[in-house]
Structure 1
Amino acid sequence: MDEFLEQNRRSWDAAVEAHASHRRGLAAFLRGGGVALFPEERELLGELRGLRVAHLMCNAGGDTLSLVNLGARATGVDMSDRAIRLARSLSRRTGLRARFVRSEVCRWLAAVRGGEGFDVVFCSYGVVCWLEDLGLWARGVAGALAPGGRFVMVEFHPFSDMLDGGWRLRRPYPSGGERVTLEEGVGDYVGESGGGLAPGGFSPGVRGFANPHPCHLYRWGLGEVVGALAGAGLRVLALREYPYINGERKLPGMRELGGGRLGPPEGVPAIPLMYGVVARR
């Protein structure tokens, strides 16, 4: 496990600088009170003013500092050294205060278990696929929450992993945490998505990014995710499915629907591409 984690950390370290190069207007956007979260996250999160929020797998901190602009007392956690350095730099440049911790997520959750507890634990987009042990993660989430606290997640729907570039069914439904190695590593999905993931304006930045480090993903189904949360003692309050993706051009030919939403091409039926979960301790 440590070997795969280290390879994933190196792959992310290589990619985050490329991602940040397309978001040169992010600091000014946040400094002016901007919020990078999409409406689905904001709706599921609800009122955050004065609440202690843990943001898991926070990457370079843009969404964490958006939580601060919504009134939260935020802590961001990520295993990438470079992502955390960028997040701390962004905090200084915006004047928005948040705590950023460099740690693998399950280890950090284990370390805070039994402490004061967070009012909200939040994560979004491309989180579950990095978890080798779903049950360990879910138990960690439950242990990090204060009594009555909420877990909120918006994530890509596993159904989308069954599709090829022509929107045809080519792979079985994800299950069991099957490990998949990507020799090409973490890609520059921010650059490939144009302005969809660059609040404050898109900058051309790095071109032709090639990651020298492979990465390892784990394939989990929606039922396994919800089951792990319930098995950890959390009460699932909401499960929502959305026929679009926010911001990222995850598949070729995606059609702009407005508001940053991207749907299937014309002629492809509506299918679940994203889901949201709210659970309470």
Structure 2
Amino acid sequence: MTNAPLRKELHEENRLSWNEATKAHNSHKGNQAKFFREGGNTLFPEEKELLGDIAGLSVVHLQCNAGQDTLSLAQLGAVMTGVDISDEAINFAQKLSEESGIPATFYRADIFDWLAETIKKKAQFNIVFSSYGAVCWISDINIWAKGIAAILKPSGRFVIVEFHPVAMIFDRDWSHKFPYFSNGKPLTWEDGISDYVAASSDGLSLSDYETGIENFCNPHRSHEFQWSIGQIVTALLQAGLALEVLQEYPYSNGCKLFERMHETPGRRWFPPEDVPNLPLMYGIVARKV
């Protein structure tokens, strides 16, 4: 497996890009504290099924963004910690936790720095959780996997629901534009992280979609890393985790990844009829042995 080195300068550009994008994303989601106070939950059936009963368990949500899923996990009884590189996202998450009355601890940090510090402190969790658009920001898949294994308690689980790397080889018009095997080479987007919440409308809003920020243009570029399913699974296995579940799904939850997708109940997006089905998401459960 060919790995990219840690590219901290690219991580920093991603932090700036996420700071701007997060403002746009949250502008469409209305009164989020009210949503949670009234019992709202952002989790999809797929992650709930893979996680199982998490009441009373310590869970860390890596790359937690603005904390909506983190607080949703807390509503299921978990003792939650969220970590994200974006200042804007973590500030929002902390405020949302306070205003909704749902407790969680949040840290603003580069995930690799946080993993290293947590390993040094010998802190461990029952579950490490990650989801939806997280792995593409990881510049070294082996260091990531080893860090996850190190912060899991014995018999603890890593659970992820993520967009499938096969889907990432297509442009928005379904043309095959990007490589599946990138050998750790970053893909740079000069226009940065988009307002994909606006593109998905009700699919990613917590209740009724609000117009919010219009015609968003990100002033900071971003850098993504493409890892194949084989590279991801192998990294987890080599880190000492035992694979229990590898599931693939022919739809994307919430996010309208491509043009002409059609939405079905449950906010699932499927390809248009003239596009043969393909895996758009995957789920993994891996246990520390």
> C-alpha separation between the residues in 2 aligned to 1:172 and 1:3?
23
Is the aligned partner of 1:159 residue 2:181?
no
Distance in structure 1 (CA, Å) of the matches to 2:173 and 2:17:
27
Aligned-pair CA distance for 1:200: 2.7
Q: Measure, in 1, the Cα distance between the counterparts of 2:239 and 2:118.
A: 16
Q: Would you say the 8 A contact 1:26–1:198 is kept in 2?
A: no
Partner SS, residue 146 of structure 1: strand
Q: How far apart are the structure 2 equivalents of 1:219 and 1:242?
A: 19
Question: Which range moves more in the overlay, 81-90 or 193-202?
Answer: 193-202
For the Cα contact (< 8 Å) 2:243–2:285, is it kept in 1?
yes
Aligned-pair CA distance for 1:161 = 1.6
Provide the TM-score with structure 1 as the length reference: 0.97
2: distance between equivalents of 1:248 and 1:25?
A: 20
More deviation, 64-73/266-275: 266-275
Q: Secondary structure at the match of 1:108?
A: helix
**Residue 19 (structure 1) aligns with:** 25
Aligned residue pairs total 281
SS of match in other structure, 1:193: helix
Deviates more, 1:194-203 or 1:159-168: 159-168
TM-score by length of 2: 0.94
Shift of 1:178: 2.0
**In structure 1, C-alpha distance between the alignment counterparts of 2:142 and 2:176, rounded to whole Å:** 28
| 2:87 aligns with one of 81, 97, 113 | 81
Task: Give the match for residue 183 of structure 2.
Answer: 176
Check conservation: 2:172, 2:257, Cα contact below 8 A: no
| 1:91 aligns with one of 94, 97, 115 | 97
Deviation at 1:71, TM superposition (A): 0.5
Q: Using the TM superposition, give the Cα deviation of residue 111 of structure 1 relative to its aligned residue in structure 2, in angstroms.
A: 1.2
Structure 2 residue aligned with 1:122, among 121, 129, 145? 129
Alignment-mate amino acid for residue 122 of structure 1:
F
The one-letter amino acid paired with 1:101 is: Y
1:240-264 deviation digits (Å, cap 9, x = unpaired):
0000000101111111122110010
Q: 1:76 is matched by which residue type in structure 2?
A: G
Show the counterpart of 1:55. 61
**Equivalent-residue separation in structure 2 for 1:207 and 1:253 (angstroms):** 21
Q: Structure 2 counterpart of 1:26, which letter?
A: Q
Give the match for residue 148 of structure 2. 141
Counterpart CA distance in 1 for 2:273 and 2:32 is 33
What is the distance in 2 between the residues matched to 1:142 and 1:249?
32
Contact 2:250 2:277 in 1 (8 A): yes
From 233, 245, 249, the counterpart of 2:240: 233
Unaligned residue ranges in structure 1 (runs of 5+): none
* 2:30 and 2:206 in contact (8 A); partners too: no
> Among the aligned pairs, what percent are the same residue?
49
Structure 1 runs of 4+ with >4 Å offset: none
Moved more, 160-169 or 37-46: 160-169
CA distance in structure 2 between the partners assigned to 1:200 and 1:102 by the alignment: 27
Please state how far the C-alpha of 1:116 moved relative to its aligned partner: 3.8
SS where residue 225 of structure 2 aligns? strand
Contact 1:18–1:188 (CA under 8 A) maintained in structure 2 = yes
Paired residue for 1:36, among 42, 50, 53? Answer: 42
Specify every segment of 5 or more residues in structure 2 that has no aligned partner in the other structure, as ranges: 1-6
Q: How far apart in 2 are the matches of 1:150 and 1:263? A: 30
Aligned-residue Cα RMSD (Å) equals 1.1
Give the 3-state SS of the residue equivalent to 1:181 in structure 2: strand
C-alpha contact 1:161 1:174 (8 A) present in aligned 2: no
SS of match in other structure, 1:119: strand
SS in 2 for 1:140: helix
1:280 to 275, 284, 287: 287
> By how many angstroms is 1:126 displaced?
0.8
Distance 2:102 2:207 in 1: 16
